[in-house]
Amino acid sequence: MRIALTMAASLLALTACNGREAQDAPMATETGMTGAADGTLGDQPPAAQGFAQAVAMSDMYEITSGRLALEKSQNEKTREFAQMMVDDHTRSSQELKDAVTTGNQTFNMPASLDTERQAQLDILQRLDGEDFDREYMSQQVAAHRRTLELLKAYAGNGDVPELRQFAQGAIPTVQKHHDWLERNAPGMAGGTPGATTTGATPAP
């Protein structure tokens, strides 16, 4: 009798442990950016759901922060870039939805910004003038480096052909944004007129 009870208890403990792992697993890949300890993707792209969720989150952040920049900034270069973000990432969002539908995928896509990006947006909300411009551009430099890495990883070896094709098509647009930042963002090669150095630390 004691042996039977011990075995039953062990089975219950194992089941509970497996249940917790199943609940925790989606959170580990929610942003699609899991990989090496330094935050890079490593050699493997995320699975389709992680990739789609990560791109959707990136688009949402770019559109939301771009609209905020159009409201708050008086800098011509900042406004130029922000409008490009709203236009291009609105289009990217629709193209991603089309790719998911065409590929017969069903994902739980994010309905709001995650903690990291909401914190970045909160910082921007508190700033004005050149402080806002510097922080916005600093965030954008980091965000576009990460998005390019994600797209290139999935475009080369993604697990869903339709999403892989989407990634391949999105790379030139994000590369265009990255190159614009290289020429115009504070602290980069070209810099921006009226915004010399940035004291902000780029987001991870």
Q: Provide the CATH number for the domain around residue 199.
A: 1.20.1260.10
Worst-scoring range by mean pLDDT, 8-17, 137-146, 163-172?
A: 8-17
Q: State how far the Cα of 56 lies from the Cα of 62, in Å rounded to an integer.
A: 10
Cα-only R_g, the chain: 21
Rounded mean pLDDT, 84-91: 98
E strands of the chain, at which residues? none
Q: State how far the Cα of 64 lies from the Cα of 107, in Å rounded to an integer.
A: 22
Q: Tell me, what's the pLDDT at 44?
A: 75
Contact 135, 123 (CB under 8 A): yes
Residue 126 belongs to some domain of the structure: yes
Q: Whole-prediction pTM value?
A: 0.73
Rounded mean pLDDT, 89-100: 97
At 202 the three-state DSSP class reads coil
Residue 107 belongs to some domain of the structure: yes
Identity of the residue numbered 87: D
Q: Tell me, what's the pLDDT at 187?
A: 73
Q: State how far the Cα of 66 lies from the Cα of 190, in Å rounded to an integer.
A: 21
Residue 33 belongs to some domain of the structure: no
Residue 108 belongs to some domain of the structure: yes
Q: Is the pLDDT of residue 126 over 60?
A: yes
Q: State how far the Cα of 127 lies from the Cα of 152, in Å rounded to an integer.
A: 33
- Model confidence at 186, pLDDT cuts 50, 70, 90, reads confident
Residue 6 belongs to some domain of the structure: no
Instruction: Give the domain extent around 129.
Output: 47-204
Q: Tell me, what's the pLDDT at 189?
A: 52
Q: Which of 11-20, 44-53, 122-131 has the highest mean pLDDT?
A: 122-131
Residue 135 belongs to some domain of the structure: yes
Length of the chain: 204
The pair of structure tokens assigned to 191 is 């810099």
Residue 158 belongs to some domain of the structure: yes
Residue 138 belongs to some domain of the structure: yes
* Cα dihedral 48, 52, 58, 62 sign: positive
Q: 99 versus 23: which is more confidently predicted? A: 99
Q: State how far the Cα of 37 lies from the Cα of 21, in Å rounded to an integer.
A: 20
Identity of the residue numbered 93: S
Q: Tell me, what's the pLDDT at 15?
A: 40
Looking at the structure of the chain, the number of domains it has is 1
Q: Is the pLDDT of residue 5 over 70?
A: no
Worst-scoring range by mean pLDDT, 19-28, 54-63, 70-79, 123-132?
A: 19-28
- Model confidence at 188, pLDDT cuts 50, 70, 90, reads low
Alpha helices (runs of H) in 127-202, residue ranges in sequence order: 129-157, 161-184
Q: How far is CA 14 from CA 11, 18, 25, 103, in A?
A: 5, 6, 16, 36
Please name the residue that has the structure tokens 């030139």. Answer: 172
